[in-house]
Amino acid sequence: MSQPRPFSRLLGSLLLAAAATLSCAVAADADDAAEPAAARAHPVRPLGQIVPAPASVLPGGPPYTLTPQTTIQVDASPGVRAVGEYLAGVLRPSTGYALPVTEARGPGGIRLRLRSAERELGDEGYRLQSSRDALTLTARGPAGLFRAIQTLRQQLPAAVEMDTRQPGPWQVAGGTITDTPRYGHRGAMLDVSRHFFTVDQVKRYVDQLALYKINKLHLHLSDDQGWRIAVDSWPLLATYGGSTQVGGGPGGYYTKAQYKEILRYAAARHMEVVPEIDMPGHTNAALASYAELNCSGIAPPLYTGTSVGFSSLCVPKAITYDFIDDVIREVAALTPGKYLHIGGDEAHSTSHEDYVAFMDRAQATVARYGKTVIGWHQLTGATPAEGALAQYWGLDGTSPAEKAQVARAAQNGTRLILSPADRVYLDMKYTKDTPLGLAWAGYVEVQRSYDWDPAAYLPGAPASAIAGVEAPLWSETISSSDHIEYMAFPRLPGVAELGWSPASTHDWEKYKVRLAAQGPRMEALGIDYYRSPQVSWPAG
């Protein structure tokens, strides 16, 4: 497939940055003179008409207009120039402007500034102030500025996302947006085990997630059908266990260098990668790679189907704990983020007693290597470690007893990531006619995915226990970037809004209007999204 958009933008950005300001101005004046009247007539997007909805919007005053003379003015603070260069990389191809990134102050620029005293903005909040004379983005740290840039992108016409020069004008409505996230965990999970996705495919998804202020990328790196991360102490996990996928394709795995490349790319977009090594079930790829991990001492064949619950590490064997120690140690050493996900779901071939014993030891191993445990909500049937997060993937119709077990853990201090399968599993079919996906959790149309409140979703769980939301995309039927995008969009923006926006902004009738306006932007980005009939998408 083609390289992700930022790669193609880089060359154009460097060439444009080298152009003289005077020649840019002359060329732009000529283009403006020839610009079609229809392009000039594009209305300015109302302030705050974006996804996710901002916390506070105070419209007023004339709009800010980008011109050939616009500069991107950055603080000398660490990390700010990188954010400014990212913004320039977004804007240069479509506007045709040089947009130099500079620490010099001047009139009419886009100003990126850090203000540590703005405590109310927190780690990711920002303030956007737009007027005729300047556009100022303020935050306490680079992450907040990066989130502000995503708002700025959406305030500009959708054509700003194009890789080729487009007619303006490029205007941002006047006024002030002050914005902070509702939850600190706003995630998307990509299953690279059932079907393998290349580094470039993952990067493409990262860029799409970043637009909607997602800050966690959960990579499901191991399952029955494939092991996707190199482990030096157990090399056959990747070379043999990673050699296939659902349907028997070639599979694949990430070398340590490739995994680090994904981490760096995500970090540049202020997104933390959460690696998952699923255990003690979902382990056939590991069991097939090393016979000694099986209680029988006999390795099963590689698996290319889609059934679940049939595999288990051998809990009584000492070598099992050598294995998890080595794997967790190596993955933790590669991963700068705080979390390591140990799965723990659908361990139907592990007795309850063995499951509890295994999860105790696995959690202790994660802690030994400096990470915080995340597990699927079945972890609450064991003893969650102090500080652990449980990721709930049940349904509206999950048994009251199972919901109560998770709620009790939340009452006792275990924080929850909410991923209800019949709401935010992006691999569920939209309708019976959806060509991709599964339907075991039901059909999940766009309104159903959006129309629920994380704080009130799980009976008995304190609102304060909700760490955030996450949208998993399992890949039994997903094997290409087009597949990812069709199933993720337009549901993913709604999940992002549940994680970011205040509960007071939650309104399907208003949201679907803002979502419809995302259609041209997704098209400009090359996202072949599902045109849900529940949304009045713009014609053409």
CA atoms of 240 and 123, how far apart (whole Å): 42
Is the CB of residue 406 less than 8 Å from the CB of residue 458?
yes
3-state secondary structure 176-239: EEEECCCCCEEEEEEECCCCCCCHHHHHHHHHHHHHCCCCEEEEECEECCEECECCCCCCHHHH
How far apart, in Å, are the Cα atoms of 252 and each of 33, 243, 249? 53, 6, 9
**Reduced to 3 DSSP states, what percent helix, strand and coil does the chain have, rounded to the nearest 5?**
40, 15, 45
Catalytic status, residue 261: no
Is the CB of residue 207 less than 8 Å from the CB of residue 5?
yes
In 3D space, the residue among 234, 223, 333, 331 whose CA is nearest the CA of residue 280 turns out to be 223
- Beta-sheet pairing, 372-376 with 226-227: unpaired
Catalytic residue among 292, 346, 402, 523: 346
Is the CB of residue 121 less than 8 Å from the CB of residue 143?
no
- Altogether, the residues listed in the chain come to a count of 540
CA atoms of 426 and 488, how far apart (whole Å): 6
For residue 255, the SS3 value is coil
DSSP assignment letter at 452: -
Active-site positions read 346
